[in-house]
Structure 1
Amino acid sequence: MARVSASLDVPSPYVDFTRADWAARRENHPLTLMPDEVARVRGLGDRVDMKEVEEVYLPLSRLLAFYVNATAGLHRVTTDFLGDRPAKVPFVIGIAGSVAVGKSTTARVLRELLRRWPQTPRVDLITTDGFLRPNADLEARGLLQRKGFPESYDRRALLRFVADVKSGMPRVSAPVYSHLTYDIVPGEEIVVDQPDVLIVEGLNVLQPATVRTDPLRTRQVLSDYFDFSVYVDAPVEQLRAWYVERFLRLRETAFADPDSYFHRYAALTDAEARETAAGIWQRINEPNLLRNVLPTRDRATLVLTKGADHAVTNIRLRRL
């Protein structure tokens, strides 16, 4: 049975589910995602399998289908009330979490599942990596070693992009980021053209507004445009281990490409690679996680908590 979680005497807005409780919410809906499709969208080091897709992500896609229908109905009522012409407004989902937690895999699996629901055949996925400032810009600002921190993004451009898509604007473009060159790709773009659902995945997508000194000015944030949000969670020490494991695998794959920004790491021994990865985690990823990413967890609509084997063990859903 699901239970309402509480802290001290303050009721929690979340309902906690075990994985078995959550899996029952599937309600016998058929799984139409095939094993080869799951393998294609699975990230490096992420061990999501058909069982997890069936027990965790299929029930979540069913819940999201309900949300999409309900939000569309609310939009129709509101436009009728205002006397506006109804426009196609996409349902926007934000997905947040640490480096190495598997949020990219979560985003891709949900995209494939949602495309199979009749009301959401067009689902687009954007990662906030495309809105990182170019390396030359980061270096000029002294931020190259803080890539992934909130200040390393062009936050105005990202906010404008999501606002334009959410308003129903056709053909909205976003920059393209290359994990091979570790930089924005000049002249390349991704075009989003009035999808049914837009998934926005990134470290800091649930960041709250900062306090302004001018009380008469307000600041919008990305999450203002989200209809639903997911935070993929795991213990910090587990995330560190996954990051190091992923670094070792990348040394044998992407880092081996001479064009890779990280090609210099390809020849490291196992011990050297572990030490290098642990140092990067300690200097960059863990401080960013503790300072900027983890504090946004309780702003999510739903929290997926992973165990040591990468499998989701618990689910927390915010009550409306």
Structure 2
Amino acid sequence: MGIIDNVSPFLSFTRKEWAALRESYPMEVTQEEVERLKGVNVALNLDEIADIYLPLTRLLHLHAIASQELYRSRNVFLKKQEKKVPYIIGIAGSVAVGKSTFARVLHTLMSRWDRHPRVDLVTTDGFLYPNAELEKRGIMNKKGFPESYNVQELLRVLAEIKSGKSVVEAPVYSHLTYDIIPGEKQVVEQPDIVIIEGINVLQPPKQQGGVYVSDYFDFSIYVDAAEEDIFTWYVERFKSLRQTAFRNPESYFRKYAELTDEEADATAKDIWQRINQPNLRNNILPTRQRADLILRKGDHHFVSEILMRKI
């Protein structure tokens, strides 16, 4: 373990140092679960669970318990009746960095702690404006950029969750149709922990003095990797999806299913350079330093370094 430099707000851990912090937390994940949880072209194995995820879930468990105790103490001070308020974890990072797989694994492991068995996962894709609205605003080519999200609706949902409201509804997104599903809602009913996953969840507000999405987070994580590696993973994933999701007749991307390898390479590179690269450089990457924890992946898609904000 070390400090990056004299003024850095982060402590740096090698993979070996971080793995040692797992202590006695048991391995309760099977190889079958690993295969079910991992995304397209995302490397995940039992060693990654043991070395990276188990120490992290132990840390988050300790933070969540401490937060609950602090909340109870504050209610005593304010002479307020105690209300169940969930611990909220935010997960940010680029497209194709493995963020969704990370969120799913974290959701699975956190739900196995006895003090907070009810864990919900909410993705911010559901808060994208519908495609019709994006077309109307002329920003369909900026889908995933901060301006393509209904941030006010996301803030409303987070405020209701954090206030302890018994039932909160969130919109649902389909990656198959590449659009919001009309009338479908995800129901959040007073869980112990809520994981919010999305590329721009650490983005500051447009107006000075405005409310941040991350103002509602108790802990935030940024999944990081070198841009050239993310680009490679993006192209590999795009090519793999030609054989699976793109072949579904209802898929928004059905037109890409029959592309040759050369055509798929060129198409993926074009989409990356026009949309994902500018979004990463201008909007996502600048929020990295706002996270409480940064997980840095190597070109093999496994975490090689962990940066934890000093308390």
TM range (shorter): over 0.9
Q: C-alpha distance in 1, partners of 2:165/2:41?
A: 37
Determine whether 1:300 maps to 2:298: no
**Structure 1 residue runs without a partner (length 5+):** 213-217
Which residue is equivalent to 2:159?
163
**Residues 1:105 and 2:105 aligned together:** no
Matched letter for residue 190 of structure 2: Q
Q: Gapped runs of 5+ residues in structure 2?
A: none
Letter in 1 for 2:94: S
Question: Given residue 144 of structure 2, which amino acid in structure 1 is its aligned partner?
Answer: G
- In the alignment, which residue of structure 2 is the partner of 1:219? 210
Other-structure match for 1:148? 144
Structure 1's consecutive aligned runs of 4 or more residues displaced over 3 angstroms after TM superposition are none
Q: Paired residue for 1:241, among 209, 213, 232? A: 232
Listed as ranges, the matches of 1:164-183 within 5 Å are 164-183=160-179
1:211 is displaced (CA, Å) by 4.1
Show the counterpart of 1:118: 114
Aligned to 2:245, which of 248, 254, 264? Answer: 254
Letter in 1 for 2:4: S
Q: Which residue is equivalent to 2:7?
A: 11
- The CA deviation at 1:209 is 2.6
Give the aligned partner of residue 46 of structure 2: 50
Letter paired with 1:250: L
Task: Say yes or no: does 1:265 pair with 2:256.
Answer: yes
Q: Distance in 2 between matches of 1:58 and 1:29?
A: 7
Q: Deviations over 1:77-99 (max 9, x none)?
A: 11111111110010000000000
In the other structure, the counterpart of 2:90 is: 94
Distance in 2, Cα, partners of 1:47 & 1:245: 12
Aligned residue number for residue 69 of structure 2: 73
TM-score by length of 2: 0.99
Equivalent in the alignment of 1:25? 21
Deviations 1:276-313 (A, max 9, x none): 00000000000000000000000000000000110000
What is the aligned counterpart of 2:187 among 161, 182, 191? 191
Q: CA deviation at 1:210?
A: 3.0
Cα deviation, 1:20-41, whole Å, max 9, x if unaligned, reads: 0000000122111121112111
Letter in 1 for 2:2: R
- Partners of 1:80 and 1:278 lie apart in 2 by 57
Residues 204-250 of structure 1: per-residue CA shift (max 9 Å, x gap): 000123344xxxxx311110010001000000111111000000001
Task: Please list the CA deviations of residues 173-225 of structure 1 after superposition, one character each: whole Å capped at 9, or x if unmatched.
Answer: 1111000100001111100000000000000000123344xxxxx31111001
Tell me the distance in 2 between the aligned counterparts of 1:209 and 1:202. 15
Matches of 2:65 and 2:176, distance apart in 1: 39
- Measure the CA separation in 2 of the matches of 1:211 and 1:136: 26
Give the distance between the partners of 2:217 and 2:157, measured in 1 at CA.
13
Secondary structure in structure 2 of the residue aligned to 1:205? coil
| RMSD of aligned alpha carbons | 0.8
Aligned to 1:279: 270
Partner Cα separation in structure 2 for residue 64 and residue 259 of structure 1: 39
Map of 1:59 onto structure 2? 55
Distance 2:199 2:74 in 1: 32
Aligned AA (2:163):
S
Aligned residues: 311
Secondary structure of 2:8's aligned partner: strand
Helix, strand or coil at the partner of 1:11: coil
For the residue of structure 1 that corresponds to 2:301, the secondary structure is: coil
Distance in 2, matches of 1:152 and 1:207, equals: 13
CA distance in 1, matches of 2:145, 2:88: 23
**Structure 1 SS opposite 2:57:** helix
**Aligned residue in 2 for 1:128:** 124
When the two structures are superposed, what TM-score results if normalisation uses the length of structure 1? 0.96
Take 2:77 and 2:274, find their aligned partners in 1: how far apart are those partners? 53
Determine the C-alpha separation between the residues in 2 that align with 1:56 and 1:91. Answer: 21
Q: Distance in 2 between matches of 1:197 and 1:72?
A: 11
Which of 31, 38, 41 does residue 35 from structure 1 map onto? 31
